[in-house]
Structure 1
Amino acid sequence: MFVRRGAAAAVVVSAVLLLGAGCEDPAPKAAGSTAAANKGGASPSATASPSAAAVMPSVIGKKSTEAEALVKALVTRPVEARGAYTDVTLAPDHGAWAVCFQTPAAGAAVASDTAVELSLVAPGTPCPEKAGAALHPSKAPAPAPSATPPKPAPKPKATVPTDTGSTGGDGGGNGDSGSTGGGADVYYANCTAAKNAGAAPIRRGQPGYRSALDRDNDGIACDK
């Protein structure tokens, strides 16, 4: 009887020991595991990584509609569009116009309030070499007229032919080359020529009169 009670007591003690082992607090082990994890490094979720800054895309060569859509995804301010040529007015509907220049440049960091400018050209129009150029530059002004007009060319002076004919009535000998007496518009080589022309006698002041034909100097040439 005593043996049975001793065995029963031993079973009870074993059961108590087993229950005690099962009820141990696992916290120390968990704490150790947590410490080991912290020793290895902080959790990735402990610090948030900073967000990447927005970068201006390259929109040169793109149509205005596509370029503005790319820019509006980054900034809240309206996109300012303008003509690339100073003498070309930007059309109200410029969606098909192409971008020649952009500000800011491609790759530049932009914030939500960054002002963006796009310089555009109409379809089929080449981009200028530099912003602000004129598509149809004005022609150079004509030189101003001179204050003093040019002087006209001098007229050639009239020359009176000299007579080598006779001063007498028949006009055979050499004569002088004196004054013509007002008949310089008509010339007779000698009195014979004057008579053949029906002009003799020729009085002083009449066409064809000259002192070389007036032999006696009486004012009448070729009178003999």
Structure 2
Amino acid sequence: MFVRRGAAAAVVVSAVLLLGAGCEDPAPKAAGATRPSASTSPSASVSAPASPSTAAVMPSVVGKGFSEAETAVKALVTRPVEARSAYSDVTLAAAHGAWTVCFQTPAGGAPVAPDTAVELSLVAPGTPCPGKAGAALHPSKAPAPAASTTPVPAPKPKATVPTDTGSTGGDGGNGDTAASSGGGGSDAYYSNCAAARAAGAAPIRRGEPGYRKALDRDNDGIACDK
């Protein structure tokens, strides 16, 4: 009986020991675990890119006086600032410091380097800017029409009426008189175009002395024109 009780007590003690071992806090093991240091992080090992340097930009100087604009530009570029008249028919004055800037190259906000060429187009004080650089302030009037190259016929001498009105014309004439050919009651008569040219009357237009249809081959109202 005593032996059974001792064995039972031993079993109880063993069970208590096992329970105590199972209830141990595993935190110390977790606390002792090795953690990766911040220096081994991939993101920490990559260095941040350097920020690019700020590039110089062209200031907007339109509307300013040339002296003020030149001072602002010379702070950025080493080349001389080129000034010119905004009008093609206006000469830039030697002293143009008070002239107003109408156009600029490069434009305001464009990047510039020390060797950038800068050009400013100016107008005299009180003069409005043109619509575009190089326009004329006083455009010339419309050109006069070119002189006509058609020779002016010389005054025609009055021809005498020949006595023979029945002769035939050498240039297609058929002997028609001025009255019958619609010559407008002309008192001149030419037997043919050769006679009209010899008298200085050719060409003869309809209604003029000496005109008749027989001498107007193409019926264009002008006789002896060819």
Q: TM-score range by the shorter chain?
A: 0.3 to 0.5
Q: TM-score, normalised by structure 2?
A: 0.46
Q: TM-score, normalised by structure 1?
A: 0.47
Larger Rg, first or second structure (1 or 2): 1
